[in-house]
């Protein structure tokens, strides 16, 4: 299929018009374009072109049963893709778009089945990223875009992460540096009453509830789990290639045990904590959720590239500001 990938570098805040034009033209022609958003890099195709969208599933090795988020330049462009636009969508779009909130609504006949995995609903968002918006605007079509990684792998927060996974499999990779948010958008289902949180993300349940009242919060598996998880038994997603263990409390005994076995360990600790074990690759993580989210995937990509035997993560506090981070760590 695709063989040569063009990598187009530009500035995120003052994007090059020629890069925008090439990305938009490629999308209109049915090609695959990886581009940054404020959350993670997405792998885009014209959402109205079923053949182009099929290319996303092939490039990522994504199971056909997993529907895609459709990105649009503004609320008006979202409305035509939806059969029934609820009042809550108006309020949430006004408050959070452009931004990291994805809304699931009943799809209109315009949306091809492949985008929604055959389902009756479509997920929509307006990304809060100047370059992404410029590409969407210039393309003039809605753009289906999952995270720009091979299926079940870590999402990319830098163009080099996309290159590692998808070089030769997509037409264009737009490189505009690291993404600011670092974690995927919040996904909220508006087809149920009350609305239901499907994936926690950078917009918190409390922020949503301040606008539309109580929502149903999906129980977050990671919050109930045993501290030591058995790799392989649970649904894996958002995963580094290196085996990873998330531990509540001090990882010192576990890290000491593993290093004595001769294992090469990467260790993510919260900045506030002190103990050190010699010979491990130690990464001090911020003890503030937004800063933690912004660097989590980049750190894991880096440790993956270092060829370690295992990554140990000290779990952050089990409080709501850390919800999205617990969700992702719980599924690695
Ligand atoms: O921040 C993000 O959301 C990034 C950037 C590129 O926008 N995209 C992203 O896409 O994370 P992806 O495909 O990796 O995750 C989309 C999530 C999946 O969990 C998918 O199952 C869910 O959204 N989803 C998509 N359409 C849906 C629908 N109609 N109903 C329920 N869930 C849906
Ligand atoms: Mg993804």
CATH of the domain at 283: 3.40.50
205 and 124 belong to one structural domain: yes
110 and 258 belong to one structural domain: no
Provide the number of structural domains found in the chain.
2
- 315-324 tens-digit pLDDT: 999 999 999 9
pLDDT score, position 233: 38
**SS3 (DSSP) at 129:** coil
Rounded Cα distance, 191 and 197, in Å: 11
Question: How remote is the CA of residue 148 from the centroid of ligand 1, in Å?
Answer: 12
Q: Which carries the bigger pLDDT value, residue 241 or residue 177?
A: 177
The shares of helix, strand and coil residues in the chain, as percent rounded to the nearest 5, are 35, 20, 45
Phi and psi angles of residue 169, each rounded to the nearest 5 degrees, phi first: -115, -10
pLDDT score, position 227: 38
Residue 185 Cβ < 6 Å to ligand 1: yes
Q: Which carries the bigger pLDDT value, residue 221 or residue 146?
A: 146
Instruction: Please determine, for residue 209, whether its predicted confidence score (pLDDT) is greater than 80.
Output: yes
pLDDT score, position 115: 97
Q: b/e for 44-56, b at 16 or more Cβ within 10 A?
A: bbbbbbeebbebb
186 and 250 belong to one structural domain: no
66 and 167 belong to one structural domain: yes
Closest residue by CA, ligand 1 atom 6: 42
Q: Mean pLDDT, the chain, as a whole number?
A: 92
What is the DSSP code string of 274-325? ----TTSEEEEEPSSHHHHHHHHHHHHHHHHHTT-SEEEEE---SSGGGHHH
198 and 88 belong to one structural domain: yes
Residue 40 Cβ < 6 Å to ligand 1: yes
277 domain-assigned: yes
pLDDT score, position 274: 66
217 domain-assigned: no
pLDDT score, position 236: 63
Residue ranges near ligand 2 (ion) with Cβ within 5 Å = 147
- 9-49 tens-digit pLDDT: 999 999 999 999 999 999 999 999 999 999 999 999 999 99
145 and 36 belong to one structural domain: yes
User: Strands 265-270, 196-199: parallel, antiparallel or unpaired by DSSP?
Assistant: unpaired
156 and 266 belong to one structural domain: no
Domain endpoint, select from 165, 195, 212: 212
pLDDT score, position 146: 97
205 and 257 belong to one structural domain: no
50, 156, 225, 247, 255 from 269: Cα distances, Å: 44, 22, 19, 10, 12
Q: Which carries the bigger pLDDT value, residue 271 or residue 240?
A: 240
pLDDT score, position 272: 64
Q: Considering only 183-197, 229-243, 296-310, which range has the smallest mean pLDDT?
A: 229-243
Residue 142 corresponds to which tokens in the numbers above? 């809605």
- 247-273 tens-digit pLDDT: 988 789 999 999 999 999 999 999 766
Q: Percentage of the chain surpassing pLDDT 70?
A: 92
Instruction: Please determine, for residue 275, whether its predicted confidence score (pLDDT) is greater than 90.
Output: no
Give the ligand at the shortest distance from the Cα of 181: 1
Rounded Cα distance, 195 and 217, in Å: 9
Q: Considering only 33-42, 124-133, 277-286, which range has the smallest mean pLDDT?
A: 277-286
Q: How confident is the model at residue 218 (pLDDT cuts 50, 70, 90)?
A: low
Residue 115 corresponds to which tokens in the numbers above? 């985008």
Instruction: Please determine, for residue 155, whether its predicted confidence score (pLDDT) is greater than 90.
Output: yes
Give the ligand at the shortest distance from the Cα of 129: 1
> What's 116's domain CATH number?
3.90.870.10
Host domain of residue 177? 6-212
Instruction: Please determine, for residue 223, whether its predicted confidence score (pLDDT) is greater than 70.
Output: no
pTM for the full model?
0.94
Rounded Cα distance, 186 and 271, in Å: 26
Mean per-residue pLDDT, 164-186: 97
Residue 42 Cβ < 6 Å to ligand 1: yes
Residue 147 Cβ < 6 Å to ligand 1: yes
């Amino acid at each position: 299929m695709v063989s040569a990938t063009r990598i187009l570098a530009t500035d995120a805040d003052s994007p090059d018009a020629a890069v925008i034009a090439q990305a938009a033209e490629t999308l209109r022609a049915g090609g695959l374009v990886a581009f940054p958003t404020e959350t993670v890099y997405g792998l885009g195709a014209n959402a109205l072109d079923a053949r182009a969208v099929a290319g996303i599933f092939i490039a990522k090795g994504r199971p056909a049963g997993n529907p895609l988020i459709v990105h649009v330049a503004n609320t008006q462009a979202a409305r035509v893709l939806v059969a029934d636009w609820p009042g809550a969508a108006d309020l949430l779009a006004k408050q959070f778009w452009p931004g990291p909130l994805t809304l699931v609504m009943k799809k209109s006949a315009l949306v091809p089945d492949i985008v929604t995995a055959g389902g009756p609903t479509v997920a929509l968002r307006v990304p809060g990223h100047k370059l992404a918006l410029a590409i969407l605007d210039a393309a003039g079509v809605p753009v289906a875009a999952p995270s720009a990684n091979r299926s079940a792998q870590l999402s990319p927060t830098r163009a080099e992460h996309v290159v590692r996974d998808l070089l030769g499999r997509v037409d264009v990779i737009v490189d505009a540096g690291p993404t600011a948010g670092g974690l995927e958008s919040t996904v909220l289902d508006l087809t149920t009453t009350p609305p239901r949180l499907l994936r926690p993300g950078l917009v918190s349940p409390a922020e949503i509830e301040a606008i539309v009242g109580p929502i149903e919060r999906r129980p977050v598996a990671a919050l109930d789990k045993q501290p030591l998880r058995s790799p392989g038994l649970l649904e894996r997603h958002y995963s580094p290639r290196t085996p990873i263990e998330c531990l509540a409390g001090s990882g010192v005994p576990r890290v000491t045990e593993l290093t004595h076995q001769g294992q090469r360990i990467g260790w993510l600790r919260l900045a506030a904590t002190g103990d050190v074990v010699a010979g491990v690759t130690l990464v001090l993580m911020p003890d503030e959720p937004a800063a933690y989210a912004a660097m989590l995937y980049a750190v894991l990509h880096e440790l993956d590239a270092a060829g370690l035997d295992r990554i140990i993560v000290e779990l952050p506090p089990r409080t709501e500001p850390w919800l999205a981070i617990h969700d992702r760590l719980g599924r690695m």
